[in-house]
Structure 1
Amino acid sequence: MTFLSRTAYAKSKGWSRQYVGKLAQNGRLIETADGLVDVDATEQFLGITSDPSRRPASTLAQPSSISRATEPVNPAESPSTVVGYQQSKARLALAQARLAETTLLETNKSLVEVAVVDAAAFAAGRMLRDLILSLPTQLAPELSGMSDPWEIEKYLVASLRRVLDDAASMTAADFDNAIHS
């Protein structure tokens, strides 16, 4: 196991000191308690978490020369607990695809907002309630003059059917208007 200061580690890799500091800020540099860089563990960790598209082609074709038996000094930053680059990229692509699909459905008016549907349903229920509750005042004068039970039933059914049909047609029109506005 080799331990170097950040500056010495940067020189050994041919990197700037600022880049090594950035690696430390991003949690990709494995350091001991006294601030020295564990070179072997850091190399292994960087190999797991690095972007494969930025690696040189020669290193992609060769098997890794880093021993897998080396344990990192800090177990909280263990490579096994870190999500790999490919998994993160796949999750990002899936989230972007879902967002694009949702946007497409909203654009095509196949997807609506819940609040709009709730408001339209509430308005339709309120309108239906008002129409049905207004029936007694409309029917009372007519029914008071009827004595035949069959005529009363027929008149009540026809009036109720008319009110419900009117409510259905108005509700459908209002609902379409609310959704497509």
Structure 2
Amino acid sequence: MELIKQSQWAKRHGFSRQYAGQLVQSGVIQLVDGLVDVEQADAAIAALRDPNQPQRRKNTSDVTELSTLLLKTRIKNEMERGKLLEARAKAEIGELVSVEDVKVAAFNKARIVRDSLMNIPDRVASLLASIDDAHKIHEVLLQEIRTALEELSRDV
């Protein structure tokens, strides 16, 4: 005669603890010193069960699949947390730069380029007004643009 707790018996058969308690309260299952007699309880359940009805118990393979899924999810979360901590450590020692800092620096550099290129017409307008040759105008403009870009590349 094997005696176990109600919750253990319910888990073994895929029942809820509450259902096992209801079976005890209704007298279907007899307790021996507060524990379930497994043989008696199994026989009582077999007598109650209508063979024409399918079993509605939890499938224990679903439980193992669920626990495997939860374990995989936990592993993935821990790996992501590790990556995040690694990125924070690199940022603290200066290997990584924040996105906002990069955006600000790029914006400032682009503004300097824009201003430099926008100043070209003011510098060469009077010179170009006196030139009639289109080829010569092209050379002057090209030289001014090249000079502006070279100055910017020296600032980097």
Matches of 1:117 and 1:148, distance apart in 2: 44
Aligned to 1:135: 120
Following TM superposition, where does structure 1 have runs of at least 4 consecutive aligned residues deviating by more than 6 angstroms? none
Instruction: Give the match for residue 24 of structure 2.
Output: none
> What does residue range 15-54 of structure 1 map to in structure 2 within 5 Å?
31-34=16-19, 36=21
The residue number in structure 2 matching 1:99 is 84
Unmatched runs of 5 consecutive residues or more in structure 2: 9-14, 22-55
Equivalent position amino acid for 2:150 in 1: D
Correspondent of 2:129 among 144, 163, 166 = 144
- Quote the residue 1:65 is aligned against: none
Distance 1:80 1:148, change over 3 A: closer
SS in 1 for 2:116: helix
Offset of residue 162 of structure 1: 1.5
Provide, for residues 92-133 of structure 1, a one-character-per-residue CA deviation record: whole Å limited to 9, x for no partner. Answer: 542343123212321342322222222322332233222212
- 1:83 maps to 68
Does 1 or 2 have the higher relative contact order (CA < 8 Å, sep 6+)?
A: 1
1:139 deviation in Å? 0.7
2: CA distance, partners of 1:148 / 1:92: 69
**1:126 equivalent in alignment to 2:111:** yes
CA 147–34 in structure 1, closer or farther in 2 if over 3 Å, else same: same
- Give distance in 2, aligned partners of 1:163 and 1:90: 55
Q: Which residue of 1 aligns with 2:6?
A: 4
Count of residue pairs the alignment pairs up: 116
* Aligned residue type for 1:99: L
Aligned residues with identical type, % of pairs: 19
TM-score by length of 2: 0.51
Question: SS of the counterpart of 2:68?
Answer: coil
Partner of 1:34, secondary structure, is helix
The residue type equivalent to 2:141 in the other structure is: L
Residues 166-181 of structure 1: pairs in structure 2 closer than 5 A: 166-170=151-155, 172=156
| 3-state SS in 2 of match to 1:83 | helix
Tell me how far apart the structure 1 counterparts of residues 145 and 59 of structure 2 sit (CA, whole Å). Answer: 75
2:96 to 91, 96, 111: 111
Q: Deviations over 1:46-72 (max 9, x none)?
A: xxxxxxxxxxxxxxxxxxxxxxxxxx9
- Distance in 2, Cα, partners of 1:103 & 1:81: 33
Deviation, 1:148, is: 5.7
User: CA–CA distance in 2 between the matches of 1:35 and 1:120?
Assistant: 68
Amino acid at match of 1:107: E
Larger Rg: 2
Report the RMSD for the aligned CA atoms in angstroms. 4.0
Given the superposition, is the C-alpha separation of residues 149 and 88 from structure 1 closer, same or farther in structure 2, using an over 3 Å criterion?
closer
